[in-house]
Amino acid sequence: MSNSKKAATPERFAPCVNTKVEGGFWRRLMEINCRATVPAIYRQCQETGRLDAFRLAWRPGQPHQPHIFWDSDVAKWLEAACYTLAAFPDFEMAQQIEEMVTLIVSAQQPDGYLNTYFTTVAPDKRWTNSRDNHELYCAGHLIEAAVAHFETTGKRRLLEVACR
């Protein structure tokens, strides 16, 4: 890197919630996300059992057995919903977000562990295969969702889960 260019540092970036897009292509895309994409993903997560997986009530033989990557799907929706809410205040979306945060908080184990598949389906397999079992992947998306939730709402509940 030449001396004439400064390296990007965290101090040089504004949080997404402090950025306003007021028109053009990106605003139209954001409106589509708010109106159609984020609600469609929520419905899909609901219909497939991904949201209910955080209730930790699944038992063998029941439909919608949690999968190793489901938590990341919910966390990615949650992150998108939070940033969408920052741009387009919406009571129903805010309520869905807070309900999901409450479920996530309740699913965290006393030792801080959080993964619906390994808590309900294969508890004896926790941390046995960090390369393939998506535990770190799911945790990473949860952290991103927690940051988005905090930046959007100022609430620390999900951030505290991620820190544990």
| Residue with more model confidence, 3 or 102 | 102
Q: How far is CA 143 from CA 21, 57, 60, 78, in A?
A: 25, 24, 29, 11
Token pair listed for 47 = 């219909």
Average pLDDT for residues 51-67, to the nearest whole number? 97
Q: What is the C-alpha separation between 85 and 105, in angstroms, rounded?
A: 20
**What CA dihedral angle connects 41, 142, 22 and 6, to 10 degrees?**
-140
- pLDDT at residue 1 tops 50: no
Residue 2: per-residue pLDDT: 46
Mean pLDDT across the chain:
92
- pLDDT at residue 16 tops 60: yes
pTM: 0.89
Q: What is the C-alpha separation between 139 and 111, in angstroms, rounded?
A: 15
- pLDDT at residue 101 tops 70: yes
Q: What is the C-alpha separation between 15 and 82, in angstroms, rounded?
A: 13
- pLDDT at residue 6 tops 80: no
Q: What is the C-alpha separation between 156 and 148, in angstroms, rounded?
A: 11
